[in-house]
Every structure is written in structure tokens, then in C-alpha cells.
Amino acid sequence: MADGVRQAHSLAEAYFYLSINPCPDCATGVRDAGEGLRLPDVGGTARVEIETTCRSCNAVVRTVFELSDSSSLGGGQAAPMISRSDKPSHLIDVAQWLTLFRVTAEAAAREPNKQAARLKGVEAALCLEEALKFYDDDDNDLPPGDAFFKDESRQRLRDHPDQFSRQRLIEMRAKLPALDVMQRSAQSPRRAWWRFWRR
């Protein structure tokens, strides 16, 4: 099954999108994503097709992503940059980025391999940075309405507005080292700073 074409900043954002959005066939299943297949560029825009398999209904879905940052297709062990743009994502809303931040940070704490844990910690911090890009009004502690793409995200705002406080997110980010420090430390032994949310 083909799932159309999506606009993504990077390959990392494409994979995060697939991990946070359920199977389009059954609307509930978690998807396992395979390795992306590079497609011919269109008008100078890099494209990649990623095939997913639903854990619930076994549906196989192929999604094509057009990437604004073709450098994200390069390999490497360092945690990839999600977006070099100051603009927020068109694929993943603020509530989903916060969920990804929490899930990835918790995965970092459970990861027994120290280097892999540090890389997950960097990814978690990048997800938090993406969430903060939606806050465009300095006088409002909450993100604008168009920062929520899904009904469940809007419901989460209504039920738990405190989770979306800009000040709260800034305080969470302040507990982390600077991103460049985190990315350098992912290549060498450091203390377990990715456990900061447990303090």
C-alpha cells in the first residue's frame, strides 16, 4: 500500500514521523520501519521511500518523503540533526514531539550500551528543541492552536495544559548541556546526563 508523499526536513524527521503515527491501514498498530530506499531526485529535491510493517495487522505501507535537507541521507554514528530550520515541523505536532522526547529519554535510561544511551539522549534533546519551535508568541506561555495537528493532541492540551507550558520546557532544556556538548560527548564516556528528568 502506498501512503502518498510527505514533506520532511530530514531523514531523521521521517523516521520519527513513522514511529509516532500509527498504521494508516488499521489506525492503531505500531509500525516497524525498514531502511529507506533513495529515489531519483525531483527538481533537485532528495526523495526516499520507507517501507513499514504494522505489528498489529501486518499491513505493509510505503511512504515517500521529500527531504529539504539532503545531507541528512549521509551515514554516521552520531545522532542526526532533525532540522536545521527555525521553522516547526509540518509532519509532527508539538504534542507528538513532547511524547517523542519523553519516550526517547526513557529509552536512553534503559539502554545498557553507554554510547547508544548517549546518542538516544541527544535525540531526546533534539525532539525537545523541535517542540519549542512551535512557540512563536513571547507573550503566550502556550503554543498556538495550529501547533496541534490531531484531535488527540488538542485533547491533550485541554486535559493537561501545564504539559505545554513554554516556561516548563525551557526549564527542562536548561537541565541539559548545550547540544554541541551533548553531541561531542556521545562519542566518548561521560556521566549519565540523559537521566536528568528523574531528578
pLDDT in tens, 31-73: 999 988 999 998 889 999 999 999 999 999 999 999 998 877 7
Q: What is the dihedral angle through the alpha carbons of 32, 127, 87, 181, rounded to the nearest 10 degrees?
A: -130
Does the pLDDT of residue 196 top 60, yes or no? no
Separation in Å, CA 164 to CA 17, 105, 154, 158, 169: 20, 17, 11, 10, 7
Q: Any idea where the domains of the chain sit in the sequence?
A: 2-73, 94-198
CATH 1.25.40 is held by the domain 2-73: no
Per the CB < 8 A criterion, the answer to whether 153 and 131 are in contact is no
**pLDDT (tens digit, 9 = 90+) per residue, 96-153?**
999 999 999 999 889 998 888 888 888 999 999 999 999 988 889 999 999 999 999 9
Does the pLDDT of residue 14 top 90, yes or no? yes
